Amino acid sequence: MSELEEVLTKDGSISLRSLFYQENFHSLEGALKETEIKFINPSDLKRFKDRSLNVLDICFGLGYNSASLFNYLIRQNSFTNWYALEIDKKPLEYSLKNKLFQKLWDPKVLKIFKSLYQNCEYKDQFFDCDILWGDARKTINNIPTNIKFDLIFLDGFSPQKCPQVWSVEFLKKVTQKLNPQGYLITYSSSAAIRKTLKDFGLNIFNIKPNLTSKNLWSNGTIAVKIIDEYVLQSNLYFKKLSAMEEEHLLTKASIPYRDPTLNSNTKDIIKKRVKEQLSSDLKTSKKWRDKWGMTK
């Protein structure tokens, strides 16, 4: 896979930059901070205290999302049935060798990670973990069909860089594995991704931006098939889409990424989408941004 460069983020945690995708794994504000704000906090993990949960981590990468998850669940005796999909072993290898990464976690988290790297699995009385190496479009088919997930983390490179894990066809497979009240969580606020998930019958919510953030209207997206109104009101981290966000789903930006064979390359997927956008009568993203006083 790609060559990788180390990046030190502002919160002191390390990340990587892919020279192949020309994109960092995390925000420069902080790899650990981003994980907590965009994935762990909205998951509301206290719901699973003394209970079991099924988790799917798509695009495992360095492992921050799952390390943070494991670190939290260790303290509350939750039984975790966990799967991850990842194409490249190098980021995990890097994590296991990096002292800054290691000191963030309970020793058991590192024990799990080492086993995943060496054996592709880890099993004990509280954790049943499997990592499936290879193209996620193929390996997702190796997850037993009877397993439905309470949490799905979708954390691939951005849709414009790696549309393969954001296509209609792949997201259909992903949503089919979601429990009716499970959360599909992603950092992406892309109209194309939100519209695709909405078209599959999911309710779409905005991960609330930080109070300290400037010109930031979203920290990501949560998609849920069925949600209790009390849960929505009591969760501090997500809310219904604003009128501005709803209107975003009616622009050319909402036209999806398509990969009918689940075998297309980046160039072909992007080319097909651009062609569809050019022929569409939907409002342009520019008009939407102008109306709401936004910049690129």
- Predicted local confidence at residue 211, as pLDDT: 56
pLDDT in tens, 120-131: 999 999 999 999
Percent of the chain at pLDDT > 90 equals 85
Is the pLDDT at 277 greater than 80? The verdict is: yes
pLDDT at 1: 44
pLDDT band at 265 (very low <50, low <70, confident <90, very high): very high
Average pLDDT rounded to a whole number, residues 84-104: 97
Determine the Cα–Cα distance for residues 285 and 190; give it in Å rounded to an integer.
12
Tell me: the pLDDT tens digits for 190-208? 999 999 999 999 999 999 8
Q: Which has the minimum average pLDDT: 3-7, 137-141, 231-235?
A: 231-235
Q: What mean pLDDT do residues 218-234 have? A: 87
**pLDDT at residue 212, rounded to an integer:** 53
Reported as a single tens digit per residue, the pLDDT across 131-159 is 999 999 999 999 999 999 999 999 999 99
Phi, psi of 102 (to 5 degrees): -60, -40
Q: How far, rounded to the nearest angstrom, does the alpha carbon of residue 292 sit from its chain's CA centroid?
A: 27
> Which has more pLDDT, 75 or 230?
75
DSSP 164-226: GGTSHHHHHHHHTTEEEEEEEEES---HHHHHHHHHTT-EEEEEPPPTT-SS---S-EEEESS
Structure tokens at 172: 């259909």
pTM for the structure as a whole: 0.95
Domain spanning 31-291: CATH 3.40.50.150? yes
**Which of 95, 78, 73 minimizes the C-alpha distance to 86?**
95
Report the C-alpha gap between 269 and 163 in whole angstroms. 7
End-to-end CA distance of the chain: 31
pLDDT over 90 at 209, yes or no = no
> For residue 117, what are the CA distances in angstroms to 70, 93, 114, 198, 224?
16, 7, 5, 35, 31
Tell me the C-alpha distance between 25 and 13, whole Å. 12
Q: In 3D, which of 243, 198, 246, 248 has the Cα closest to residue 225?
A: 198
What is the average pLDDT value for the chain, to the nearest integer? 93
The band of 90, judged by pLDDT with boundaries at 50, 70 and 90, is: very high
Q: Where are the domains of the chain?
A: 31-291
* The pair of three-digit structure tokens given for residue 5, joined into one six-digit string: 């460069």
The half-sphere exposure of 161 on its side-chain side, counting CA atoms within 13 A, is 15
239: closest CA among 251, 249, 231, 248?
Answer: 231
